[in-house]
A and B are shown apart, each in its own frame.
Chain A
Amino acid sequence: EIVMTQSPATLSVSPGERATLSCRASQSVSSNLAWYQQKPGQAPRLLIYGASTRATGIPARFSGSGSGTEFTLTISSLQSEDFAVYYCQQYNNWPSLTFGGGTKVEIK
């Protein structure tokens, strides 16, 4: 099983600042990596797939990078609606999917 590790667990950021979230895979997942945003009481929302492609309707302030085992989600200028939990997901081992433990982005 591919293990996905996210860091940090919690990130405290002020509105307007940049947030950088990390995701590491226990073995290479190529670029088969997605990022999701989840707000309390809601289902996850797809942000990024293919490690760096924004999903439909996702603002340009969200960007993804990386390949192999190291990935990054960057939110360039945090808006109030961006405070949420973010999960990475590998699908290189499809149909077996694995999620990271999540990073909570909170208001500093």
Chain B
Amino acid sequence: QVQLVQSGAEVKKPGASVKVSCKASGYTFTSYGISWVRQAPGQGLEWMGWISAYNGNTNYAQKLQGRVTMTTDTSTSTAYMELRSLRSDDTAVYYCARDALIGGYSYTDYWGQGTLVTVSS
């Protein structure tokens, strides 16, 4: 069965960086893209960006351009999201989610369990 298992909760100081991992299993990792979505406490879902697990192509939300980097390690079927220059409003639960379809124009079907990142001095 398809599973996305994310790394554990993090506490960071303002200005620091965080790197969240998302280990996939149960499917051919390189066939599907991965989106990252975050959710601030009590708020809605915000799309952060997408990475192709096939060739590493990325597409980032404009508001995060320059602060976010998404990568994959195909040898371990793991996707990573790094966010730099953290601010208090980056405090959120971060999710990875798999494209449902191969080849694009896809919604997301399987989601990781979420990783809480807390930014506090």
Contact = CB atoms under 8 A, between A and B. Distances in A.
A8 to B, nearest CB: 14
Nearest to A34: B107
A6 B73 CA distance: 37
Interface stretch (A14-22, A42-50, A66-74, A76-84): A42-50
A7 interface: no
Range for the number of chain A residues in contact with chain B = 20 to 34
B106 A91 contact: yes
A38 B43 CA distance: 12
Interface in B81-121: 95, 97, 100, 104-109, 111-114
B44 interface: yes
Contacts, number: 62
Given A99-B44, A102-B44, A91 B111 contact: no
A87 B111 CA distance: 14
A99 B107 CA distance: 11
The 3 tightest CB contacts between A and B, nearest first, are A95-B50, A34-B107, A43-B111
